[in-house]
A and B are shown apart, each in its own frame.
Chain A
Amino acid sequence: MTFSLLHATDFADRLLYKIIPPLKAGMIVLADRYAYTAFARDATRGVDRQWVRELYSFAVRPDLALYFRVPIDMSVDRLMARRVKLKFYEAGMDLGWSSNPVESFRLFQGKVLDEYDRLVDEFGLEVVSAVGSITEQQRVVRALVSQQLQINHVEIPDEQPA
């Protein structure tokens, strides 16, 4: 619970200082992770799904939400290849499912991915396959973003100089 609430506090702070002001100014905000991360991660830690959704109801609904999906094995392989030291909470070590960090990461993040799959339909996330190369992924992302910008006719407001 405290893990969930501390992240929500951080999110509220960033929403009010870093996200809403640029949106008001007509700018595009790119968020690396959003409330969906909390929905997936907190539910995996056993927090009530609906409660977390209600908790974040103060958030702005994104115009476009991209979910980069990758199988758990590939995720582990990539991290191991870079010899990344797995973080305690990222590996879900607090849950005590395994004393081996890699095994714990696999179990925990595997469950997190299952939660993300629920979110895809519930919130209409655009799934981008993160299996391919960066160039391929970027092509998909650019197509989705361009489409979104056309729909919303995003223009920089041209203010008359005083």
Chain B
Amino acid sequence: MNNQPDAPQSTDAGASGDIQAGRYYGRGIPYLPIAGYPGKLIAIEGTDGVGRSTQIQLLREWLEVKGYGVVETGWTRSPLMQPTIELAKSSNTLNKLTFVLLYATDFADRMEKEIIPALKAGFVVLSDRYIFTALARAGVRGVDRLWLRNLYGFGIAPHLVFYLNVDVKTLIARVLAARGMDFWESGMDLKVGDDIYDSFRAYQSKLLKEYASMADEFHFRVVDARRSIDKIQDELRKQVAAFLEPEATLKSEG
């Protein structure tokens, strides 16, 4: 609570890049111990319209052909929260704090019901966006960064985090060609102006900056997403293979 004189100042209990992959970032979920689970968690991060879902689709097919069990999970896709989040977005009552907490609830539901059971059963979990999306969006909106990292202390540090990096100019061209700009992706709730193009540009530039600073903090594997779909996929597969089958990869290269 505010003004609490003896509040423990914990700076070491939240999400950070120093946590070993496959462990909880912070205080975790005490009733769900995860040590020793055989599954692997791979997060694909990147801003709106950068091509994440296409890459995940291709990665999934390739992994399944190789004989891996694959589970996909994605932002706001929990059956518990998706309708609530859609409803809340369509009204004008959301503020940045409730926004953050709704996303966190969705993520917690997917952690307990999808991600942890899949890791326990030895699946490769492909996560379309991960906590970094929440950290970036809320960070841009001025939510306290330490509080956010403590909040997501129940998240699991992924084995691999790929960050599909793009510049704002390329992004604008792609989004306009594909489907146009949308209210939330343009950060119109921040009310920087009425013009959706200007708002999109300003908001996405800020988001990209947040991601860039997290790339160091959380050791992202940065992938240049301005290239063709195939080139990007090749790079992802190479890195995933090197991680999942280090010996096979060495042999084929040697």
| A positions within 8 Å CB-CB of B | 1-2, 5-6, 8-9, 12-13, 16-17, 35, 45-48, 50-51, 53-61, 123
Contacts and interface: CB of A to CB of B under 8 A. Distances in A.
Contacts of A16: 95, 97-98
A10 to B, nearest CB: 9
A48 B95 contact: no
Interface in B7-34: 7-8, 10, 13, 26-31
Contact of A61 (B4, B29, B101, B104): B4
B28 to A, nearest CB: 7
Contacts of B81: 2
Contacts of B108: 1-2, 5
A61 B2 contact: yes
B13 A50 contact: yes
Given A35-B1, A51-B154, A2 B80 contact: yes
Chain B contact-residue range equals 20 to 34
B77 to A, nearest CB: 14
Nearest to A8: B101
Interface in B100-153: 101-102, 104-105, 108-109, 111-112, 147, 150-151, 153
Contacts of B98: 9, 12-13, 16
Given A2-B109, A48-B29, A58-B147, 7 more contacts: A1-B112, A47-B29, A51-B154, A53-B7, A54-B150, A55-B150, A57-B147
Nearest to B146: A54
A1 to B, nearest CB: 4
Contact of A51 (B7, B27, B95, B112): B27
Given A2-B80, A2-B109, A51-B26, A46 B2 contact: no
Contacts of A6: 105
Contacts of A56: 1
A123 B252 CA distance: 62
B153 A9 contact: no
A9 B102 contact: yes
B135 to A, nearest CB: 15
6 contacts: A2-B112, A16-B97, A46-B30, A48-B29, A54-B10, A61-B4
Interface string B145-166: 0010011011000000000000
A5 B13 contact: no
Contacts of A53: 1, 7
Give chain B's interface secondary structure class: loop
A114 to B, nearest CB: 17
B93 interface: yes
Nearest to B110: A2
Interface string B72-107: 000000001100000000000101011001101100
B3 interface: yes
Contacts of A2: 80-81, 105, 108-109, 112
A5 to B, nearest CB: 4
A151 B153 CA distance: 39
Contact of A12 (B3, B4, B97): B97
B161 to A, nearest CB: 22
The 3 closest A-B pairs by CB, nearest first: A46-B31, A5-B105, A9-B101
Nearest to B95: A16
B113 to A, nearest CB: 9
A55 B14 CA distance: 11
Contacts of B10: 50, 54
A55 B102 CA distance: 13
Contacts of B1: 35, 53, 56-57, 59-61, 123
A58 B112 contact: no
